[in-house]
A and B are shown apart, each in its own frame.
Chain A
Amino acid sequence: MSNLLAARSQMAVSLAFHIVFAEVGIAMPLMMVIAEWRWMRTREHVYLELAKRWAKGTAILFAVGAVSGTVLSFELGLLWPEFMRFAGSIIGMPFSLEGFAFFTEAIFLGVYLYGWEKISPRAHLAAGAVVALSGVASGIFVVIANAWMNAPAGFRLIGGQPVDVNPIAAMANPGAFSQTLHMTIAAYASTAIAVGGIHAFVLLRQRKSLDERLVRFHRGALAVALSIGIPAAILQPLSGDLSARFVARIQPVKFAAMEGQFSSERGAPLRIGGWPSEVERRTRFAIEIPRALSLLAYDDANALVRGLEEFPRNDWPPVPVVHVSFQLMVALGTTMAIVATWAGVVVLRHKSFELSPNDRPLLLGLSIIAPFGFLATEAGWFTTEVGRQPWIIFGVLRTKEAVTPMPGLIVPFVVVSLLYCGLGAVVVWLLWRQIVKTTGDRTQVDRISSATTSRP
């Protein structure tokens, strides 16, 4: 494994790991706040219990998110010192703002998790709301930095060095809006659909063994999750469409790779599935919908879509990876949107987000799509990041010029990967044991909720 490949792989592993916790850190606080707010409004005890149970899981996930994020801030320099030397002054701004968002997030999360008995219920709810807001803010700031790597702005290049640096213009880069929007909705869709799916699964599986109170608990949880998951999953393909239009304009070579479009073509077809061959320069086995790609990307069925052939061969990203991950994201997203629409119809019919345990097909559907959001997120980031190759800053700095000269990068790559495999396994084990397995046992629930309340 070459040094460059080891560095790229380490970055990919670290980011792919972090993003799961980041999404949870963005969306869970909102769900806890909704649950707590419903408790304050209705005084139904299940909602308080729900907020506390979720808070417990979130505490674990948040801590892992915080440490894995710290690793990333260092890795930007440890692996890509030339990138940071070039870009630090241009794009450090959103990272600094993100730093302050982390502060508010961590401070009020501490207040939220450990302050149940120490502050008034209103103050407690407000602390939760601050966590929810600053979570979104930190996500937005860091994705702005990433959007800049895709659509660099806010400087001029003279002799290979940036001059006339304008950090505000860098933040207002043309990719920022669509990418931050898509990412923020993704966080809500992934987390809410996953949480909803877990509770739907418990309702489905343990319908008979659950007592009345636990049924209420899981229905309540599902209701809160669906109130966010349904709109987010339905909006996500729309915002994805917006993203795709921006990619078509800003990074036509990435767009061509995503779509498996080798030759430039008017009235280009939309390809579903298929395998692009870089050697044969065509995409085989795809279902083609005539002219649909031109229509989708440019609102004109005869618009010209530029193919990979227009670009030098050494500026191509690895086409199959980009195409397949993009297709995977779209397939997962479409499925999620369909199930979410179905759930929306049922909700409208019930006039309530609380599904009945008898809506079995829907509960099954929701259980199946539980992991889809997180999978789509990973696939989406692979599209974005692998699609940017061979550039680290698109059109400006090549990835291979940015990597650290330190030899033997395979060692940290293996260490970090093992560490994260271990951590991931422990987290899954802990959540499984505490949040899923104990749900069938009522005394456990009581014990857990009293344990959370009595924590100092």
Chain B
Amino acid sequence: MSTQPFLTPQSEIAGAIAVALNIYALSAGADFGGGVWDLFAIGPRRDRQRELIANAIAPIWEANHVWLILVVVLLFTAFPPAFSRLMTLLHIPLTLMLLGIVLRGSAFTFRSYDSQRDRVQRRWGRIFAIASILTPLLLGVILGAIATGKLSAARLSNPASFAEVYVQPWLAPFPIGVGALALVLFALLAAVYLTVEAKDAALREDFRRRALWAGTAVAVVAAMNLYLARAHAPLVWSELTEGSLAMGFRIGAAISALGAMASLWLRRFRWARVAAAIEVSLILWGWALGQYPYLVPPDLTVDNSAAPPATLRLLAIALVAGLALLLPSLRYLFKVFKEGY
């Protein structure tokens, strides 16, 4: 780890990026998860499940989506070389993820506003649901590829085959494992949130059952990922197992996972919501702190890719001012449309 003070301007902005990513996972992640459950809507209450999902997502998904944009602009403003490297080497998965984002957002909106005929509805619904699965998968693949530490400058400067440079860093077991983890986590979040939002008991039970399934899947995939991390992401692995802080995160994540399952079992849905959110956050921060101070291992760190101080200072001011404006507005949005916030 670096010998620098922990809180430098660049580490603060890096922290802000992680916070934005965290909120994106908790908010937009659940919107994607909703799409997963739309695809798997079955049983006698199929249409009502879909309706509940759509109503939960509709007023907020565009606002939730902006957290990703914030991540991107903060990254390219504060750490231009890191942004540039990621966008070059991960061109393919990023482009695929964008396709997912475009299709999810537009299909969802078209479905809400297109004719109410069933066939047309289903067509948009299918695209919406499939894009909702593709996008989190790719998001996870991208984060996983970063964690493997294979996105080095050398990859670009040495003459190598197309596949070696642009495909192998992400089309590998560990990134795919992280993709699967992101997908099941988002599905878990969505199901848990929906247990709180469902107005009648039968629907609530539907999503309780789904949440329990998703929680189990998370446990399996997470265990698999730990195994893969050991072989494929040495940096994250060593931090995870040896760094005491990161170890704490992992134990915390496991405890909150158990807490979420227990609360679901006992039908304490609000508790389950809190526990699942903590679980996801701790997993994310375990990864973020695990690779700190590296932004893009093996060589780009928070320090050596930081923008000049003048930019960082202004950005910090803009962030504080922007959040002062944003947080009350977000509170208002959730107050109008969601209960219990």
Contact = CB atoms under 8 A, between A and B. Distances in A.
B337 interface: yes
A85 B84 contact: yes
B64 to A, nearest CB: 8
A412 interface: yes
B44 interface: no
A312 interface: no
A404 B105 contact: no
B109 interface: yes
Nearest to B58: A114
B142 to A, nearest CB: 11
Contacts of A92: 73, 76-78, 80, 307, 311, 315
Interface string B278-294: 00000000000000000
B6 interface: no
Given A103-B63, A166-B310, A96 B101 contact: no
Contact of B94 (A78, A88, A96): A78
A433 B315 CA distance: 45
Contact of A113 (B59, B99, B110, B330): B59
A371 interface: no
B156 interface: yes
Contacts of A109: 62
Interface string B110-126: 10111100000000000
A392 to B, nearest CB: 14
Interface stretch (A54-62, A252-260, A271-279, A356-364): A54-62
A90 B232 CA distance: 36
Interface stretch (A68-76, A200-208, A290-298, A382-390): A68-76
A102 B77 contact: no
A66 interface: yes
Contact of A406 (B79, B105, B166, B325): B166
B114 to A, nearest CB: 6
Given A106-B66, A107-B329, A456-B55, A82 B106 contact: no
Size class of the B contact interface (CB-based, 8 Å)? 35 or more
B76 A95 contact: yes
Interface string A161-174: 00101111000000
A69 B65 CA distance: 11
Contacts of B68: 70
Interface in A404-427: 404-408, 412, 415, 419, 423, 426
A9 interface: no
B326 interface: yes
Nearest to A165: B308
A252 B326 CA distance: 42
Contact of B106 (A103, A415, A423): A423
For the complex of A and B, list the 7 residue pairs with the smallest distance between their C-beta atoms, beginning with the closest.
Answer: A92-B77, A77-B87, A88-B80, A89-B307, A63-B109, A100-B322, A85-B84
Given A59-B112, A93-B314, A95-B77, 5 more contacts: A66-B105, A85-B84, A89-B77, A100-B318, A115-B336
Interface of A: 56, 59-60, 62-64, 66-71, 73-74, 76-78, 81-82, 84-90, 92-93, 95-100, 102-104, 106-111, 113-115, 118-119, 163, 165-168, 404-408, 412, 415, 419, 423, 426, 430, 433-434, 456
